[in-house]
Structure 1
């Protein structure tokens, strides 16, 4: 009696579908979490979601008074980049449970 060569394929497809569903759930949960990035010793703080959406920018009023717009712009960019980097890192950590720690290119 020979085995059905497609039996293993069906099992693999079910596993892939279950993994996709888990990944979608993890991504949805992470999208609701928030992380921050700061620059200038806390002069600028940017908060983003795991879905890479900026939800707030806080700027120390004293830096606004100084009138140094270029510095404020640079600090805002730096804080935003740090927040986004933190969000990607959070997402990668969330997905580690699904991938067993494997770094799968293109997953993030």
Structure 2
């Protein structure tokens, strides 16, 4: 009976820790840039855009496609950083919970 109670307590602790981690990811900001820093974006850890900064010198009405490509590259870089941070945190979480290395958590 004690083992069951202990398992339930651990499950509740894990759930609380997971909720805390998700909240931290929502508040975390990650930056991405492209074009040698001419285009910069800031996203939350959940991938929501917070800021986009475009250097005036690269704005060319005749080359809209280049600006679009730079924006996509900067956004993808920031998203990659956010995903890497989430993966690192999930691995740490799994270690703390005593889960075997390489076990994929559903996030």
CA RMSD, 1 decimal: 2.0
> Which is helix-richer, 1 or 2?
2
TM-score, normalisation: structure 2 = 0.82
SS in 1 for 2:59: helix
Given candidates 83, 86, 92, the residue that maps to 1:88 is: 83
CA-CA distance at 1:99 after TM superposition: 1.3
**Alignment: residue pair count:** 103
Q: Gapped runs of 5+ residues in structure 2?
A: none
Structure 2 equivalent of residue 107 of structure 1? 106
Greater RCO structure (CA 8 Å; 6+ sep) = 1
Name the residue aligned to 1:52: 47
What's the CA shift for 1:37?
A: 0.7
CA deviation after TM superposition for structure 1 residue 34, in Å? 0.6
Separation (CA, whole Å) in 1 of partners of 2:55 and 2:6: 56
Q: TM-score, normalised by structure 1?
A: 0.81
Report if aligned partners of 1:30, 1:94 keep a CA contact under 8 Å in 2: no
Moved >6 Å (runs of 4+): none
Decide which structure has the larger Cα Rg and report it: 1
5+ residue gaps, structure 1: none
